[in-house]
Structure 1
Amino acid sequence: MNTEEKIFEAAKVIFHKKGFAGARMQEIADEAGINKAMLHYCFKSKQVLFEAVFKKAFSQLAPQINTIFTSEKSLFEKITEFTQSYISFVIENPFLPAFIIQEMNNNPEFVMSFMKTENRPNPTVLITQIESEIEAGTIKAIKPKQLLLNIFSLTVFPFAAHMLVKSMLHLSPEEFLQMMEERKTTIAQQIINSIKK
């Protein structure tokens, strides 16, 4: 593992434990096993480091999502694969949803820049498939974008508001993770049952 990879892995650990605001560059350097001067040489600020970590994570997630969206599989299979893939990814990168929300408020240009790249998630093929399924009578007449929003909301919200969810449901960190693992299948099944004729 090279120095940059060590920094990325250390940053993920510290950002997960402390959040963006609470994380300190010294802690990240210590976790990576390097001195703070080396960390600042590679990344001049915590914001720059966080954005680099985000870019790397996004570059891993977006192709997975597009592969699901554009595959030849059935709509129900795609819904199942998306919830499993996205939740697995966020379990590995739990700081990202809160960071995206924070950056959408404080630095929207940075987040929106990712939605202009060629590798951004593109649901066009999936939307067309939903429309075809409605015409064929296999699913209820629902606006495709509303269906996608429902799927995104059900998968994203628990992670974006994980402290609220854990507090309201009295969940330990281990119980929260177990619940998220369960949601890989329960969300897909709920969505499929709600649209299937």
Structure 2
Amino acid sequence: MATRSQSSAREELLGMLIEDHKRVKKAHRDFEKLDPESDREARTAIVERTCAELEVHAQLEEELLYPAARTKVAEDNLIDEAEVEHQSAKQLIAQIKTMNPDDPKYSASFTVLCEYVKHHVREEEGELFPQLGRSRLDWIGMLETMVSRRRELMTEMGLLDESLVADAMEDLEKNVKTPAARRSGRAAGSTGNP
């Protein structure tokens, strides 16, 4: 049975975070295309979903990625800046959540949030991820933990599409060795037969 390598786990984990970044950019483009008057409900749904997804993404990075990165990247200030940017984004999200979609600053606040996230993404993808990608982390373990934690957070936020997560978890279990399976030389779920 094929198992995931450290390099493929690294690519999958960073790819998952980059996909989160792309969803924010797409959400902002979709939001801008909609008419504030006639598409009010659709715009509100985009804002609410994007804010919730950003909260999940930020929590994953703060709990898992940034602590691991702090010990592996040469420039500690990259992590410090990322954490401050997350805090600012979370404050803006909290502000948006208290606003009524009819508030004249609702659209502007969401646009500022998306622009702020784009700036954060440029730094993260341009500086932090490349440095982290060259480090010797336990990428398989990090990926396992991040996928599991993402599922928990998405469930809490009501964002979970069970069919997609079930497929992802099944793939993860087939391809990633658990710590116990690594010690015994078998993949998770393996019966030990070739």
Same fold (TM over 0.5): no
Which protein has greater RCO, CA pairs closer than 8 Å, 6+ apart? 2
| TM-score with structure 1 setting the length | 0.29
| TM-score with structure 2 setting the length | 0.29
